[in-house]
Structure 1
């Protein structure tokens, strides 16, 4: 795929919609857990394992799919994966037992584990060098948009039409992405000689790549430890509940979209390290402010809203920077495998963050922002260690004139 126009191509929006669909499907269950559990006669705790299973299957299979599908045209891989993803969700209304539903979640996760890494790899491989950060950021807005739009809409449909409608909605999103990709995304050249597994894994076994994956997991763990238990934290900080919480979540989602887009521009103009330092530093500052406010609670909701927007913008500014840093290290030929490993490490971090946050909120919700800041600060320290030890900044491909890594 070659992009000559400076305008955003339609195929990039198709990839963004695919990311939107799989991210919505990941989180959408949370809003219908009580009804789902009651209908299938299981506890809410057991029903919550649907989310855990989805994340674990994704984390374990994304790198494997990247290897198995290395010789497959990315467009064909995306079409096949989205077809499986949609079918698994459309089958939910015909389910009458929890084990069968769990099986369908496994199937949906297997499809999602192909979709997101392939979409990110396709975007970065087809982007002009001077716009790669913005192309990655565009696909990432599908993830933030899922939090801002997909999850609330799916939750509303589940409440109005039954919890099964939530899954049908996710399937419809996947089908829409499939059709748009089929029409707009060009085929990629099929490699003449299939690389062996050792060749595919060689760039991903570099010490710098391992550290970048570790940075991803630690950063996501810090953010998710805070985000997963945002409701009890805000309830204790400013007595936020119900409609007020929903409005704050929408505002934070908007901040996340803005942060993602801004990070893409920083990556293109100044390199991924500058974007990562900026986003991570702002995140830690926001968490420090939340810690201070917890001491003097209750505080005005307006102040909380402003901090939430800053937090979300900073949190979502980090992924495009880490992804670009990874691609700089492995090169275009390892993009699919790198994005698969990156996605897996992010899901591992999400699971760790959720578990850690669950322990902390039982002790004192004020520990959540403190822990988040410490973990992201640790991740930034690992980035510095990686740059010094492996000279990532000096190994970068030449950028457009006027761009540099700092």
Structure 2
């Protein structure tokens, strides 16, 4: 049912606002706490690292619980995070409350996707998943730029107020709209862990990791990059985030349609941005109009990255959707961690204007993984044909 997909999207909006809302205010947070920009980046990278390390285990543990209760618990913790953070606590406490919801973020995403497609026909599953994942793009066009804009007008704490409000609305939506959803048949841990022995799944996981690393080496420092490399003020950055997101909403819809036709080609098409965007940003120089066009293309090609990564991984393990998606979320966030860390290192050693070139290198590695999986799948098909021909001849 589409209703379930939209509720999942609403919760995803809260999740993404909390995880990535920090991106637009990193320079202000660094200034408030008198720390370097790369240390402020820990608020994003630590969040992502917790997801990467605990996501699959938490998803396995939660796989037998009532799905509505799991989603309510996860979003409630996101609400607490927004409330505490809005009071500008000491940096160590801000870090702790930022980390807490990270333990349940992949659990929420995997559960929301499972709920969205629970009563769907096979040919509509990718479309419903794209509705859930559109929460990423909607956050980029609404809550993230609004939070950044309010922070530029008043103070960075207002960004967390927005996060808390969005989490409260999502919590109410899940509570009043979703019915109780007990798990009727819990899959054994062993049956789900089997996917870790599949070479195509492992390669798909590597593709996800490299792709997200590529994007986040620059995107994690979106505000810093536009401030320093493109001489935009904080208000202009909030407008750019708005542009980025509004194009991303359309992009997620397009990606959902394309994925129903060909998953590998769709993933490769959007992945091309990791190669194209560094070149466009480099040659846009200080020209504002050209930079805005480049940011629009960036938003279009980046926005479906999590949807593409999850769909690409799930397609190699269709019988273990929740566990496969939790691994997609975990390795994607490991990519966020590495991308943010490498981006911070580049800023401190060379300058933020060099960050997009990190994306180009990891984007090339992601393309290599797509080619490798395609080769293995063709090899498997050819081997089956040969065995069938031998059987017929005998």
**CA–CA distance in 2 between the matches of 1:239 and 1:37?**
18
Are 2:236 and 1:244 equivalent residues in the alignment? yes
The aligned residue for residue 328 of structure 2 is 342
Q: In the alignment, is residue 279 of structure 1 matched against residue 265 of structure 2?
A: no
Tell whether the 8 Å contact from 2:82 to 2:160 is kept in structure 1 after alignment: yes
Residues 321-366 of structure 1: CA deviation (Å, up to 9, x unaligned)? 33222222212x4111111111111111111112222333442555
Could you say if the C-alpha distance between residues 265 and 355 of structure 1 is closer, same or farther in structure 2, counting changes exceeding 3 Å?
same
Tell whether 2:344 aligns with 1:358.
yes
| SS of corresponding position for 2:63 | coil
Question: 1:215-252 deviations in whole A, cap 9, x for unaligned?
Answer: 11100111111223445555676544443333233212
How do 1:213-292 and structure 2 match up within 5 A? 213-231=205-223, 233-234=225-226, 239-268=231-260, 270-291=261-282
Structure 1 match to 2:288: 301
Report the Cα distance in structure 2 between the residues aligned to 1:134 and 1:156, rounded to whole angstroms. Answer: 32
> Where does residue 13 of structure 2 map in the other structure?
20
Aligned to 2:389: none
Alignment of 1:7-406 (within 5 A): 9-32=2-25, 43=35, 47-92=40-85, 97-158=90-151, 163-188=156-181, 190-192=183-185, 194-231=186-223, 233-234=225-226, 239-268=231-260, 270-291=261-282, 293=283, 297-298=285-286, 300-331=287-318, 333-361=319-347, 362-363=349-350, 365=352, 367-391=354-378
The alignment yields a C-alpha RMSD, in angstroms, of 3.0
Distance 1:190 1:391, change over 3 A: farther
CA distance in 2, matches of 1:322, 1:308: 21
CA distance in 2, matches of 1:93, 1:239: 28
Residue 78 (structure 1) shift:
0.6
Q: Give 1:210 deviation, angstroms.
A: 1.4
Tell me the CA shift for residue 201 of structure 1: 0.9
Q: Provide the C-alpha distance between the structure 2 equivalents of 1:234 and 1:31, rounded to a whole number of angstroms.
A: 10
The answer (yes or no) to whether the contact 1:323–1:339 under 8 Å persists in 2 is: yes
Contact 2:65 2:182 survives alignment (8 Å): no
- C-alpha contact (below 8 Å) 1:287/1:311 kept by paired residues: no
After TM superposition, give the deviation of residue 173 of structure 1 in Å: 1.6
Post-superposition Cα deviations, 1:14-68, rounded to whole Å, max 9, x if no partner, equal: 11111110111112234555766777x6635555433333222222221111110
Relative to the length of structure 1, the TM-score reads: 0.82
Taking structure 1 as reference, are residues 161 and 57 closer, same or farther at Cα in structure 2, changes over 3 Å only? same
Report the Cα distance in structure 2 between the residues aligned to 1:150 and 1:118, rounded to whole angstroms: 23
CA distance in 1, matches of 2:221, 2:22: 16
Alpha-carbon deviation of 1:13? Answer: 1.5
Task: Measure the CA separation in 2 of the matches of 1:289 and 1:97.
Answer: 40
1:75 Cα deviation from its structure 2 partner: 1.8
Q: In the aligned structure 2, how far is the partner of 1:341 from the partner of 1:328?
A: 13
Question: Matches of 2:45 and 2:358 in 1, distance apart?
Answer: 22
1:171, distance to aligned residue in structure 2 (A): 2.5
Taking the aligned partners of 1:241 and 1:94, their CA distance within structure 2 comes to 25
Q: CA shift at 1:392, angstroms?
A: 10
- 2: distance between equivalents of 1:102 and 1:373? 30
Distance in 2 separating the partners of 1:216 and 1:166: 29
TM-score, structure 2 normalization? 0.84
CA gap of 1:33–1:249, structure 2 versus 1, over 3 A, is: closer
CA deviations over 1:74-97 (Å, ceiling 9, x no partner): 222111222232234334467854
Give unpaired runs (5+ residues) of structure 1.
4-8, 396-406
Question: 2:81–2:97: 8 Å Cα contact kept in structure 1?
Answer: yes
Q: Which moved more, 1:140-149 or 1:225-234?
A: 225-234
